[in-house]
């Protein structure tokens, strides 16, 4: 059974994960509008991953005898200045999510709930991967000044990315 404090914190994180899905769909839509289909695909896959993250936590709350309460999602940013700007915003968002997961882990530790701590370790590890991936992509974009043939090459590579359901 979850304490009220943990249930509330998990519900807040579930909503943040659904917002991340929504935000990445907004990025994908912008990228489609500027003919960057590969980058759009990358963020479409990211949105699917965020949905998986939200549902994994959603199901965990139920497994622990808690109740999921969904709240309204705020409107995501939809205007960007460039592909590089999208990637910068994504990195900023991933850092925000990492901070939020760490704070959620702090609550699990304070509430002395070992099962929640164990469950959240997957998210902690996932955030390391998420930040590293987007940081590398941003570094590549900066190397090519976010323009020209290099961007088209990255766009083609990112267009091949496929969603692989997690476990």
Cβ distance 154 to 39 under 8 Å? yes
Is the pLDDT score of 167 beyond 80?
no
Instruction: Give the pLDDT confidence score for residue 78 in this predicted structure.
Output: 96
Does a structural domain hold residue 52? yes
What predicted TM-score, i.e. pTM, was given to this entire model?
0.94
- 16: domain CATH number is 1.20.1260.10
Q: What percent of the chain has pLDDT over 90?
A: 94
The per-residue pLDDT for range 122-142, each reduced to its tens digit, is 999 999 999 999 999 999 999
The per-residue pLDDT for range 87-108, each reduced to its tens digit, is 999 999 999 999 999 999 999 9
Does a structural domain hold residue 38? yes
Does a structural domain hold residue 39? yes
Query: Which residue range forms the structural domain that includes residue 73?
Result: 4-158
Does a structural domain hold residue 164? no
Does a structural domain hold residue 44? yes
Integer Cα distance of 4 and 10 in angstroms: 10
Instruction: Give the pLDDT confidence score for residue 165 in this predicted structure.
Output: 82
Is the pLDDT score of 166 beyond 80?
no
The per-residue pLDDT for range 54-87, each reduced to its tens digit, is 999 999 999 999 999 999 999 999 999 999 999 9
Does a structural domain hold residue 167? no
Q: How far apart are the first and last CA of the chain?
A: 23
Question: Alpha helices, DSSP H only, in 64-147?
Answer: 83-110, 114-143
- Give residue 16's Cα distance to chain centre: 9
Tokens at 40, concatenated: 């759009």
What's the structural domain count of the chain? 1
The per-residue pLDDT for range 140-164, each reduced to its tens digit, is 999 998 888 999 999 999 999 998 8
Does a structural domain hold residue 61? yes
Does a structural domain hold residue 166? no
Cβ distance 3 to 111 under 8 Å? yes
């Amino acid at each position: 059974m979850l304490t009220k404090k943990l249930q509330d914190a998990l519900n807040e994180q579930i909503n943040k994960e659904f917002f991340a899905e929504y935000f990445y769909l907004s990025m994908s839509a912008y990228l489609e509008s500027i003919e960057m289909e590969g980058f759009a695909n990358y963020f479409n896959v990211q949105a699917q991953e965020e949905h998986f993250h939200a549902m994994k936590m959603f199901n965990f709350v139920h497994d622990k005898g808690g109740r999921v309460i969904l709240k309204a999602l705020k409107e995501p940013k939809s205007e960007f200045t460039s592909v590089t700007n999208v990637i910068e915003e994504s990195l900023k968002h991933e850092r925000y999510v990492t901070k939020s997961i760490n704070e959620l882990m702090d609550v699990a530790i304070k509430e002395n709930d070992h099962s929640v701590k164990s469950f959240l370790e997957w998210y902690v590890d996932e955030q390391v991967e998420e930040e590293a991936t987007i940081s590398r992509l941003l570094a590549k974009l900066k190397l090519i000044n976010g323009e020209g043939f290099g961007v088209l090459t990255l766009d083609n590579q990112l267009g091949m990315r496929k969603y692989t359901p997690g476990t």
